[in-house]
């Protein structure tokens, strides 16, 4: 009888230890990944605050499929005719656009992209 209890206890403890080890490993991995993400977020330029815009202006951004980071090779806001860069820092600050209301990322893109000619 005590032999059965010992075996049962051993298996239960093995399961608990295994769960703890797997859980600790998962937490460690999350901690490392989270630290990298925080660093990336701190250095990334985000021009996504639409809190000061009207509903119509927000709709324009959405309708034209504005994105903060272009996925269309060779096309982004910096080489678009409509982009109005920030005077103080053209590439590292949010700018404006003649078509899309609100803050515009130099690396952004939308359906109204037009090649800059001058």
| Chain residues that interact with ligand SF4, rule: CB under 6 A | 66, 77, 80, 82-83, 97, 99-100, 104, 108-110, 112-113
Minimum CB separation of residue 54 from ligand SF4 in Å reads 17
Minimum CB separation of residue 66 from ligand SF4 in Å reads 5
Minimum CB separation of residue 90 from ligand SF4 in Å reads 12
Three-state secondary structure string covering the chain: CHHHHHHHHHHHHHHHHHHHHHHHHHHHHHHHHHHHHHHHHHHCCCCCCCCCCCHHHHHHHHHCCCECCCCCCCCCHHHECCEECCCCCCCCCCEEECCCCCCECCCCECCCCCECCC
Minimum CB separation of residue 82 from ligand SF4 in Å reads 4
- Of 9 and 65, CB closest to ligand SF4: 65
- Of 13 and 116, CB closest to ligand SF4: 116
CA distance 118 to 81: 8
- Of 48 and 112, CB closest to ligand SF4: 112
């Amino acid at each position: 009888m005590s032999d059965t209890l010992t075996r049962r206890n051993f298996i239960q403890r093995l399961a608990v230890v295994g769960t703890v080890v797997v859980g600790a490993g998962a937490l460690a991995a999350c901690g490392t990944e989270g630290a990298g993400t925080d660093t990336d977020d701190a250095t990334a330029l985000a021009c996504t605050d639409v809190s000061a815009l009207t509903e119509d202006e927000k709709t324009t951004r959405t309708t034209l499929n504005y994105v903060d980071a272009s996925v269309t090779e060779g096309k982004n806001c910096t080489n678009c005719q409509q982009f109005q860069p920030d005077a103080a820092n053209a590439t590292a600050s949010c700018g404006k656009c003649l078509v899309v209301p609100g803050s515009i990322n130099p690396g952004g893109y939308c359906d109204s992209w037009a090649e800059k000619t001058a």
